[in-house]
Structure 1
């Protein structure tokens, strides 16, 4: 799905042209698979609201937004919620194979989708880089990891994500297909007045490839490799547990994020109908893997740490006092929060 801003010309005049330009290739089989899998979108939406809401509650109750980690986590949670808010609409669209929400919602949902999608990738990368600074350069990191550094970094991420969304924002709209009598919310298949569609699509391909695939993977692999070396060379008793956690984080990111990007880039360049159908099946499956990762990533990045686990136990005990004798809770002062991270808190 692509997103778009409102343009000053009427796409309805192009509907017959769109009907001729859309490939007659039968994509019903992989679209039906996508429709069945899209039921998961509603569960991911609810899970994301619950998990990310819990992270926000813990930050509000026990932490302060003066630390670098908390500022980055807050922005990651917000980007995840922005992205997940589009999934119920996409689920309905995929199940009906017909856009029923109108042109304005098509543009709005598409904009939200890409802004959340792009910013989530970059905030995950930024969070990994910051964790690398805190562990590998633990002595000098506090001078660099200031609140100003966090605010500026988050501002850059939102700016880059917004600019990266300009291309789909210019190309997407609703159009009526006369052959199957359905309304589509997608990238317009014809020419758009005053816009070089070929250049926009080419730039979008390379932007997706380098900025949102190769760059994040390179940063995450490098940072976690440095963290692993630092932890392994330390005398920490829990270093092997930490190394296993690092391995799991990297493997999950690769397993969920890379296949979707690779298949999506290949799918956009498919030449024959048969090739498009095969890649369509793979795209439906890998897309859901990527969505699941973005759904759980804020929770995963927080609750693997002992501090957040303890905060969660405190919330449970406060809500259900009868469980106090069964749940081990250590008290932490809200004012004793540090910007440093130790390997045990990864």
Structure 2
């Protein structure tokens, strides 16, 4: 008989609020999920996700509207439009997560269980890949300005973005494939049904393609940019460099704990309360990344008064229009 391991605690970042129960088989006597969300930690997580949903939809929606419909198309706006779309789609799926947190029962069926996982993993990959593209693009622009001026076109940037979304979609299929639904007592749950070493493969793919390779690529780009900056003896870094730095730093701060906890989980057979708390915190940070980017754009705007009106057209336009 095939050895099958089913687990709800892979630390997928929409599961961190649920109880860590395992489902070995439908007939096995397993813990029944508690009722509605009543614990303080659960309530805090629900409130936090509601905030992420509201700010993420409003902020990323504003960026999509401005970069997609109000500003002149450019390579820069193409990158940031894609990044905002990724975060917006993620935030749009959060109501399913919030409902799951509140009721501790998945009422949306198998397709949405898989689709929710797919969209959320897609957000992680597409976001980091776009940040890598922004870093490489900035590096090429600084290192080879004449070539970049002749070769950087909106059409080519759009093709790159489509390729990024295609690759991100392919990498998001495995986590979604292993999502299943089952009934425990009176509750339906959406969980990870890994077989043999599939759990290790998924975590390895996520760490390698969603963190390690992007980190090394960005590190190389930054090394080149800083060396170029020192060679030209510039007094201060440009606005695009500062925006890029903040976006990338925010991504790694938000996602590094999640990646570490995911790896640590592979060697754990028992779940302690401390480890469950680590899952909750790392999951919360991962979610938070999806609403922070628009605030970075506003923060980098020139006029503080405009920032206070959050995402007025001229504020964000002045951020994206800076090419030097």
Query: TM-score with structure 1 length normalisation?
Result: 0.72
Q: Which runs of 5+ in 1 are unaligned?
A: 4-14, 190-196, 319-328
Aligned-pair distance for 1:235?
4.5
Aligned-pair distance for 1:2?
6.2
In the superposition, relative to structure 1, how do residues 246 and 109 fare at CA in structure 2: closer, same or farther (>3 Å)?
closer
In the superposition, relative to structure 1, how do residues 21 and 79 fare at CA in structure 2: closer, same or farther (>3 Å)?
farther
Q: Which runs of 5+ in 2 are unaligned?
A: 1-10, 14-22
RMSD across aligned positions (CA): 3.9
1:170 corresponds to 2:177? yes
Tell me if the contact between 1:119 and 1:161 (Cα under 8 Å) persists in the aligned partners: yes
1:253-308 C-alpha deviation (Å, 9 max, x unpaired):
3322211111122224422333xx4322111112211221222225525762659x
Aligned-pair distance for 1:217?
1.5
Indicate the residue corresponding to 1:262 in structure 2: 260
- Which of the numbers 207, 210, 215 marks the counterpart of 1:209? 207
- Which of the numbers 82, 87, 97 marks the counterpart of 2:94? 87
Quick one: distance in 2 between partners of 1:88 and 1:134? 40
Aligned-pair distance for 1:106?
2.1
Tell me if the contact between 2:12 and 2:283 (Cα under 8 Å) persists in the aligned partners: no
Indicate the residue corresponding to 1:151 in structure 2: 158
Query: 3-state SS of the aligned residue for 2:268?
Result: coil
In the superposition, relative to structure 1, how do residues 236 and 40 fare at CA in structure 2: closer, same or farther (>3 Å)?
same
Summarize the alignment of residues 24-103 of structure 1 with structure 2, pairs less than 5 Å apart: 33-34=41-42, 36-60=44-68, 62-65=70-73, 67-103=74-110
Query: 3-state SS of the aligned residue for 1:20?
Result: coil
Query: 3-state SS of the aligned residue for 2:183?
Result: strand
Matched positions, count: 299
Quick one: distance in 1 between partners of 2:301 and 2:286? 23
- Which of the numbers 126, 133, 142 marks the counterpart of 1:126? 133
Quick one: distance in 2 between partners of 1:242 and 1:151? 19
1:68-126 C-alpha deviation (Å, 9 max, x unpaired):
11111111111111111122211221232211233333233222222223212222222
Quick one: distance in 1 between partners of 2:240 and 2:172? 36
Aligned-pair distance for 1:34?
4.8
Quick one: distance in 1 between partners of 2:133 and 2:44? 34
- Which of the numbers 104, 110, 113 marks the counterpart of 2:111? 104
Tell me if the contact between 1:73 and 1:298 (Cα under 8 Å) persists in the aligned partners: no
In the superposition, relative to structure 1, how do residues 303 and 157 fare at CA in structure 2: closer, same or farther (>3 Å)?
farther
Query: 3-state SS of the aligned residue for 1:100?
Result: coil
Indicate the residue corresponding to 1:10 in structure 2: none
In the superposition, relative to structure 1, how do residues 281 and 317 fare at CA in structure 2: closer, same or farther (>3 Å)?
closer
